[in-house]
Amino acid sequence: MLDIKKLRSQTEEMKAALESRGIDAPLDEFIELDKKRRELIVDAEEKKALRNTASDRIAAARKAGEDAAGMIEEMRRVGEEIKALDHLLRDVEMQLDAIVLELPNTPLPDVPVGPDESANVEVLRVGEPRSFGFQPKPHWDLGAELDIIDQERGGKVAESRFTLLKGAGARLERALINFFLDLHTGEHGYTELFPPILVNSESMKGTGQLTKFAQHEMYKLRDDDLYLNPTAEVPVTNIFRDEILKEDELPVHVTAYLPSFRREAGAAGRDTRGLIRQHQFNKVELVKFVLPETSTGELESLTANAEEILRRLELPFRRVALASGDLGFASAKTYDLEVWLPSYDDYKEISSCSNYLDFQARRLNVRYRPAGGGRPQFVHTLNGSGLAVGRTFAAIIENYQNEDGTVTVPEALRHYMGMDAIRPL
């Protein structure tokens, strides 16, 4: 959620910032309603103040044994007026919310301006795509031949876009999760969490998952106000909802492995083969709660932490700064990490690292009390995948495949895998 005061006082700047991401924000309407809101507040509060003092006088009169019937009658009328004003006010506030909650975050100044992903800027490239001396196979073929990925049976058990991993495949998935968590907790200083996999609508709204556009992507339980976790960002970022932290508790750096579920309703037809786009996928998430003035640097270190996985796995990748028009709803700045996938003959997103500034914190009401005292301030939140497990799986078997159909296990994973190569049974 954007800062109402800023929308009020810097309307034109905010409008321009939102335009840079292709949003024509109804700020004129917002200003109108905001003005209306304040008028109603003033009116209602005057009447409430009157009622409060009158109530005191009624009590005093009663005590003194005097008759207060006239005053009581008058206050009954005032009470009704107050009720009417409060109802009007609630209507106006709902209209305001409807506008504000649909407004995305404004991009930071160093975000490349452009309408969509074509304006994204590559900022870093590490490693060289390997030149194969043979025709490399896509991971879905390799996986089937090695009998480690079984999409037919995944579909039988659930439906299409669900996968059954077998043998060394299941082991590789688990190895990756453990490797990621061990690195982030052991060397990068994150605390490991394992949150609930079902989350309520309050949490979903807090992180901005339930916008008009996105809500259909989520799996919703029929009989409960619960959703299947769409990304660990949701349960993890919500842990401090409505809390005031102490300044010296910050920064909080946490990591969590969690299965994630998305319907991907609008994406039918894209990435239909293999592990790239699944309804259920594993992800290790990195989340940070930080002091506002540190969030810029925290995004750099968070991104570097995610990149370290790719470096250790010796997978070619690049880092891309997303353009304003390509940013996620709540993000003020995002780096995508893209890994080289031979089957795509291109780089494919494997992590997305974002700085939300106080956008999520405002919605979630996560604040900290400054060490020197003073009013609570909103924290800044950041998060990134570190990494998407299924896509890493795909990248490994494609990039490490051999002409004989085996897959060499990357050095960093060998002790997790207990083998140096994946071979057909």
Partner RNA sequence: GGAGAGGUGGCCGAGUCGGCUGAAGGCGAUCGCCUGCUAAGCGAUUAAGGGGGUUUUAAGCCUCCUUCGAGGGUUCGAAUCCCUCCCUCUCCGCCA
**Under rule CB under 7 A, residue 244 binds RNA:** yes
- Residue 236 and residue 286: Cα distance in Å, rounded? 9
**Which DSSP state fits 410?**
P
Closest to 188 in 3D by CA, of 356, 283, 293, 303:
303
Tokens, residue 243: 């809390």
Q: In 101-167, where does DSSP find H-type helix?
A: 139-145, 151-157
Q: Which stretch binds RNA (CB under 7 A): 14-22, 72-80, 100-108, 231-239?
A: 72-80
**Under rule CB under 7 A, residue 304 binds RNA:** no
**Under rule CB under 7 A, residue 198 binds RNA:** no
The residue among 75 and 236 lying less far from RNA, judged by its C-beta, is 75
- To the nearest 10 degrees (0 to 180), the angle between helices 168-186 and 389-399 is 110
- From the candidates 262, 319, 362, 367, give the one annotated as an active-site residue: 262
- Residue 45 and residue 33: Cα distance in Å, rounded? 18
The residue among 234 and 337 lying less far from RNA, judged by its C-beta, is 234
Q: Which stretch binds RNA (CB under 7 A): 15-23, 46-54, 111-119, 168-176?
A: 46-54
Phi-psi region for residue 273, left (φ > 0), alpha (ψ -120 to 50) or beta? beta
**Under rule CB under 7 A, residue 51 binds RNA:** yes
Q: Please indicate whether residue 312 is annotated as part of the active site.
A: no
Token match 């106000």: residue? Answer: 225
Q: Which of 62, 216, 415, 423 binds RNA (CB under 7 A)?
A: 62
**Under rule CB under 7 A, residue 45 binds RNA:** yes
Closest to 17 in 3D by CA, of 101, 129, 111, 106:
106
Q: Which of 367, 390, 407, 409 binds RNA (CB under 7 A)?
A: 367
- Residue 387 and residue 317: Cα distance in Å, rounded? 13
Q: Please indicate whether residue 51 is annotated as part of the active site.
A: no
- To the nearest 10 degrees (0 to 180), the angle between helices 11-19 and 27-63 is 130
Q: Looking at the chain, how many residues does it have? A: 425
Q: Which of 75, 302, 366, 395 binds RNA (CB under 7 A)?
A: 75
Instruction: Give the 3-state secondary structure of residue 244.
Output: strand
Count of residues engaged in binding RNA, rule: CB under 7 A: 31
The residue among 45 and 420 lying less far from RNA, judged by its C-beta, is 45
Q: Which of 6, 38, 153, 156 binds RNA (CB under 7 A)?
A: 38
User: C-beta of 65: minimal distance to RNA in Å?
Assistant: 12
Q: Which residues pair with 354 in a beta bridge?
A: 334, 383
Q: Which of 13, 28, 29, 59 binds RNA (CB under 7 A)?
A: 59
Provide the mask over 309-348, with x wherever binding to RNA is found by CB under 7 A and - wherever it is not.
----------------------------------------
Q: List the Cα angle 319/322/326 in 5-degree steps.
A: 145
**Under rule CB under 7 A, residue 414 binds RNA:** no
- From the candidates 57, 130, 349, 414, give the one annotated as an active-site residue: 349
**Which DSSP state fits 220?**
B
Q: Please indicate whether residue 262 is annotated as part of the active site.
A: yes
Closest to 163 in 3D by CA, of 68, 250, 273, 86:
273
- From the candidates 51, 277, 312, 414, give the one annotated as an active-site residue: 277
For residue 403, the tally of other CB atoms under 10 A from its CB is: 10
- From the candidates 324, 351, 352, 385, give the one annotated as an active-site residue: 352
Q: Active-site residue numbers? A: 262, 277, 349, 352, 391
Q: Which residues bind RNA (CB under 7 A)?
A: 4, 38, 41-42, 44-46, 48-49, 51-56, 58-60, 62-63, 72, 75-76, 79, 244, 367, 369, 373-376
